[in-house]
Amino acid sequence: MKKKLFTLFLLFTCGAVNAAEFKTKAKSAFLIDYNSGTEIVAKNADTLMPPSSMIKLMTLAVLFDELKAGNITMDTRFPVGENADYNRPEWYPASKICLVAGQDISVRDLILGLIVLSGGDASMVVAEKLAGSETQFTALMEKKARSIGMEQSTFGNASGLPNPNNLMTSRELAILAEHLISDYPDIYPMFATKRFEFKEHKTDWCREWGRTHTVNYNKLLFTMRGADGLKTGHTAQGGYGMVASAKIGNRRLIGVINGFNGKGHDALAAEMKKLLEFGFANTVGKTFFVPGDTVAKIPVWYGREPDVIATVAKPFAITVDKETGLKNIRVLARFDEPIPAPVRAGDSIGELIAEQNGRVISRAPLIAKDTVGKVQFMGRVIKNIKVILGLN
């Protein structure tokens, strides 16, 4: 086999804006470029803190898996048990849809109730239906967290109400947001819903509650161009927090703020807007390849096809501050050839590397776009004869 190293791009464009340090009164802040995964701002990003209602993003992730697997649909109806009844004292001061034990509710309304109204009662309905109890559901939440690389987060309930076991880091909340955006593209647009009015209240008190509670707590949706999610949270213990995403042009940034002691959700949105705008203003990004693009064609030894297309599993992108700019960037593809058959779609068959001034700033695996089977015995014999005769 021969080791191949190809230069795919050379960039010499210069940036002009001098990046500055982002300052916030929040106890924790984290900002990443979704395409490249590059960290732009990190303040106490790995400190475990109460996530408040931001924990409901994990409740939703577990529910979304059931939808993705086809086990339920948006029209499936879940029963409301006693623990989700609005008359229980824990729900009286909390955000809720205002549900009554004995009624049922569609999965679609549960999702919107969790996203827009931050319904703690909705989280209880999901937990009891999918796991039998909220305690058993927290085990599902932790299993899900570990499966997507969230190694520190722990869960005491599905709603985010104060519990010593409800602990998440800003970095891991960003990992969760990235997962929700990338793995549920058909569902994610629901996070941009600005208003939701539940139509199936069962009591006069709840109908009045529902009439006055229809607007998303995420005020960033109303104040920032490109904002399309995700979730806010607030408890007296944890302060205000928000996981947010905004897409402007081809760039998407994900921001997390926690432990913010501003005056209400409007102040929280203003702080998040400041964080996201800092990222857009002071950094520049470039995407080189997206999944399905042909990065290279690599010969396959004993393959039913002469070569296999190398592509990427995720967009291959870089993010740098504008002072440095996109100058002296080189993107390289490194792989061995020929690759022995069989090759399965998704197999790692090489590596992409981005360098700036000789320093590696990003790397990602090259994967096989399609499966290439291995020729049978006589085909291999013919192949060997051709090689001996110099015909191949």
Give the pLDDT means over successive 10-residue stretches in the chain (392 positions).
69 45 94 93 96 98 98 98 95 93 98 98 98 98 98 98 97 98 97 97 94 96 97 92 96 97 94 97 92 93 91 91 85 90 93 89 92 72 53 58
Q: Do the Cβ atoms of 317 and 329 come closer than 8 Å?
A: no
Tell me the C-alpha distance between 169 and 245, whole Å.
Answer: 17
The pLDDT, as a whole number, for residue 25 is 93
Q: Helix 120-131 and helix 56-68: axis angle, to 10°? A: 40
Closest C-alpha among 47, 6, 56, 5 to residue 27: 47
Record the tokens describing residue 58, joined without a space: 């994990």
Run of H or E residues at 310? strand 307-311
d(CA 54, CA 294): 39
- Residue 375 is classified by DSSP as P
| CA separation for the pair 345, 96 (Å, rounded) | 45
Task: Quote the CA–CA distance of 47 and 173 in Å, as a whole number.
Answer: 11
Per-residue confidence (pLDDT) for residue 238, from 0 to 100:
85
Strands 239-248 and 251-260: antiparallel
For residue 371, the SS3 value is: coil
pLDDT at 383: 52
Residue whose pair of structure tokens reads 């999901």 in the numeric block:
126
Q: How far is Cα 140 from Cα 62, in angstroms, rounded to an integer?
A: 7
Give the SS3 label for residue 153.
Answer: coil
pLDDT at 382: 52
Task: Identify the pLDDT of residue 385.
Answer: 55
pLDDT of amino acid 262: 85
pLDDT of 16 reads: 35
User: What single-letter amino acid sits at 298?
Assistant: I
Closest by Cα among 18, 67, 22 to 41: 22
Strand ranges inside 169-293, DSSP E: 227-235, 239-248, 251-260, 283-289
pLDDT for position 5: 73
For the chain, list the strands marked E by DSSP: 2-12, 28-33, 39-43, 77-79, 104-106, 227-235, 239-248, 251-260, 283-289, 296-301, 307-311, 316-321, 327-337, 339-340, 348-356, 359-368
In one-letter notation, the amino acid at residue 261 is N
What is the structure's pLDDT at 19? 45
Neighbouring-strand partners of residue 379? none
CA distance 315 to 290: 4
Pairing of strands 316-321, 2-12: unpaired
Q: What is residue 323's predicted lDDT score, i.e. its pLDDT?
A: 84
CA dist 230 and 225 (Å) reads 14
Residues 6+ apart with CB under 8 A from 364: 312, 313, 314, 316, 351, 352
